[in-house]
Chains A and B, each alone.
Chain A
Amino acid sequence: MSQITEHPAHLQHHFTDVHQQAESAKLGMWIFLLTEVLLFGGLFCFYAIYRSWNPDMFHNAHAFLNVWMGATNTVVLIVSSLTMALAIRSMQLGKRKLTMWFLAGTVLLACVFMVIKYFEYSHKIHLGQLPGKWYFFEGIAGTNPHIFFSAYFLMTGLHGFHVLGGIGVITWLFIKTARGSFSPEYYTPIEMTGLYWHLVDLIWIFLFPLFYLIG
């Protein structure tokens, strides 16, 4: 391998070359995503079992979610995924300014997502639809409707935390990009964050029909 002799600043000592380092990071990231899938998996299992036990209650309860807000948020996240992908592409082409624009766009869309979530949540809290002990709402027919809202708040809540985390990391990437830390040779952090961000999108793609579109 010819590039062993060149020793870029970002190469850590226990790797022989940047290629090995980048591929290690990527494998590590994918395994991290795998653990994320299984972490959410417990909640999906929770959802699946209680829905199979109480299909009617789930149907009745879901009517209290606002499809349009959910759909808007789906669109927002998909577009932010696109801007994230384009941010990586721009860095691959060495267009630093463009990368910054796309990263900023991604953060902005993520914030829009959280604002919409805020309105949804506060409406439900107002109605007394928080899970468990805090559930006071009387208008849903079926057994234990508070469990629907447990699932709803847990799954969208955990997802929301991931969005918040993403906002933090992407902002950090934005600053690093502005400082010129990345180049077409080295942009691993952007690429890894991209993978993470797409997974967050991917989970939402399932949450949306599961909660907002129960037929």
Chain B
Amino acid sequence: MEHTIPEKHYLNEATGWKSWLMTLDHKRIGILYMIMVMFSFFLGGVFALLIRWELLSPDKILMGPEMYNQAFSLHGIIMIFLFIIPSIPAILGNFVMPLMIGAKDVAFPRLNLASWYIYVIGFCFAVYALFTGGIDTGWTFYTPYSSESTTAVIPILTAAFVLGFSSIFTGLNFIVTIHRLRAPGMTWFQLPLFVWAIYATALIQVLATPVLGITLALLMLERVVGIGIFDPAMGGDPVLFQHFFWFYSHPAVYIMILPGMGIISELIATFSHRRIFGYKFIAFSSLGIAFTGFLVWGHHMFVSGQSDLAAVIFSFLTFFVGIPSGIKILNWIATMYKGSISLDTPMLWALSFLILFSIGGFTGIVLGTLSIDVHLHDTYFVVSHFHYVMVGGTVMAIFGGLHYWWPKIWGRMYNETLARIAVVMIFVGFNITFFVQFIMGTQGMPRRYATYLPQFQGMHGFSSIGALIMGVGFLLIAIYLIYAIFKGKPAGPNPWRALTMEWETPSPPTAGNFEGQPILEHGPYDYDKVIPENALKPYKTI
């Protein structure tokens, strides 16, 4: 069956750069975010490659220790605050979530656009800092060093502060949208699981981010005025800063992973052509993660000098965080069991996620064990752990989601062969880069050093090769995805034979999303009752 691109859709319904910069359409705002966030990903990636290049040898190659400190700080700050936190909610959440619930837009379109502009302002502050002294505190800004460092600490704190507001506004908007704008007949338990995940994420965004805001503001004041809260020289307590920081930043790791889990739920159900197993468990485990995520931040502080009572409580509670994530993994596997699985590109990303995120999650439990973490803290084991969850988890999910919804967003298909090559490259490259880091970590290789003992050279070199493979893989993805926007084959409304509502509109959707008010006719995963229409190709099974 041949498809054509509809004549009028949201991309051509108005033209000119003004129609983009002033747009209130959630789909266009999603694309504006995509441009900025992916550019940040590129920037962060450049710094990553610089770091790995330097680590090819214990001697100086490109940069001395000071420069190295700047490189990993900028890598972390860009990747966390500019890329991974906004990534899935602001791009795919913005684009897909209103379509999924059958709404014409988000509840507050103006606020939505404002959040993008605020993001751009934050981005500018970060770039400004980059050119006025850089930053060498690490993305965690720990005191007392951050109150003394002579680099551009204030601009970078301002950047993170401003970006926080962008995140809050997105979260606020989504909560209200999901509560108030669902299509008639769509109950909470007929929401696609991606929407549940976005909802739980949004709760964390509004609850945790204000605390980050006040923390960064206090740190700035500490530098400028010396208010005596975090700086020991003024009678403050640097460990208190870590509490403030991690009260936001542990929940923030769930801002990063929860929407990814939401994408994975969609992918697994669609490509297994099977009703998702344990819908309610998956939905509620998202809320469970959001809640328990607030009770464990002290596991980042086991060797900071916090009280022993606190350390024991935080270690104990950390074990519970694994439960809701485990529930999800089990349900996804049960969904695939006896499904008719198609191994299209998005599904390959989902399978990578399952493997890599599981490794990341389990090593998290290892690190949450107080007595073990005392040894592993601040080693490459931690570096590897969080890359397995953030890259192995979130980045796999976002690329899975992009490949899944690309035909919806642009109406055109990418080259499937190249896409499969890319996903394999990333998966292999990722494991080469990071698996050895677990080993180095257990052998005592500390993180954040420009040099190392000679015995680590082999493993560091191995790791750097993996990074290069990943870098090439991501470039390849950028090339064929952008090519597909202009030259791809028209995809038709529902190329994957999925049942969620966004596939009922044309691809690309019309400016108002749906003709009239859509009515819910079946649940999002009723594969046992409904045969999806408009399929581009027949089922492929393994």
Contact = CB atoms under 8 A, between A and B. Distances in A.
A49 B218 CA distance: 15
Contact of B207 (A38, A147, A154): A38
A132 interface: yes
Contact of A42 (B235, B237, B244): B244
Interface in B179-234: 179-181, 206-211, 213-215, 218, 221, 225-229, 234
A42 B226 contact: no
A131 B229 CA distance: 11
A5 to B, nearest CB: 14
Nearest to A22: B180
B104 A13 contact: yes
Nearest to B202: A31
B228 A131 contact: yes
B207 A132 contact: no
Interface string A44-74: 0110011000000000000000000000000
A34 B244 contact: no
B213 A39 contact: yes
Contacts of A143: 235
B425 interface: no
Given A13-B104, A28-B107, A146 B211 contact: no
B531 interface: no
Of the candidates B180, B209, B221, the one having the most CB atoms from chain A within 10 angstroms of its own CB is: B180
Given A14-B181, A31-B175, A46 B229 contact: yes
Interface in A22-37: 23-24, 27-28, 31-32, 34-36
Contact of B206 (A13, A35, A50, A144): A35
Contact of B168 (A13, A35, A41, A146): A35
A188 interface: no
B517 interface: yes
A142 to B, nearest CB: 11
A31 B206 contact: yes
Contact of B180 (A20, A34, A144, A150): A20
A127 to B, nearest CB: 17
A100 B172 CA distance: 31
Nearest to A43: B214
A34 B227 contact: no
A27 B227 contact: no
Nearest to A35: B210
A205 to B, nearest CB: 20
A134 interface: yes
A39 B176 contact: no
Contacts of B225: 131-134
A16 interface: yes
Contacts of A31: 172, 175-176, 206
Contacts of A144: 228, 234-235
Contacts, number: 98
A18 to B, nearest CB: 13
Contacts of A32: 172
Where chain A touches its partner, the secondary structure class is helix
A133 B234 CA distance: 9
B218 A42 contact: yes
Contacts of B226: 131-133
A187 B168 CA distance: 26
A27 B176 contact: yes
Contacts of B208: 38
B107 A35 contact: no
Interface in A119-142: 131-134
Interface string B498-515: 000000000000000000
B109 interface: yes
A24 B210 contact: no
A38 B179 contact: no
A43 B244 CA distance: 10
B176 A28 contact: yes
A14 B107 CA distance: 8
B266 interface: no
Given A23-B180, A132-B234, A150 B168 contact: no
Interface in B330-353: none
B103 interface: yes
B234 A35 contact: no
A23 B109 CA distance: 16
Contacts of A15: 181
Contacts of A150: 227-229
A146 B235 contact: yes
A36 B227 CA distance: 22
Given A16-B517, A38-B211, A42-B215, A24 B107 contact: yes
Given A31-B172, A35-B168, 10 more contacts: A24-B107, A24-B108, A24-B176, A27-B179, A27-B180, A32-B172, A38-B207, A38-B208, A132-B225, A133-B225
29 contacts: A14-B103, A14-B181, A16-B517, A23-B180, A28-B172, A31-B172, A31-B176, A31-B206, A38-B207, A38-B208, A39-B213, A39-B214, A41-B211, A42-B210, A42-B215, A42-B218, A45-B244, A46-B229, A46-B240, A49-B240, A131-B228, A132-B226, A133-B225, A144-B228, A146-B234, A147-B227, A147-B228, A147-B236, A150-B227
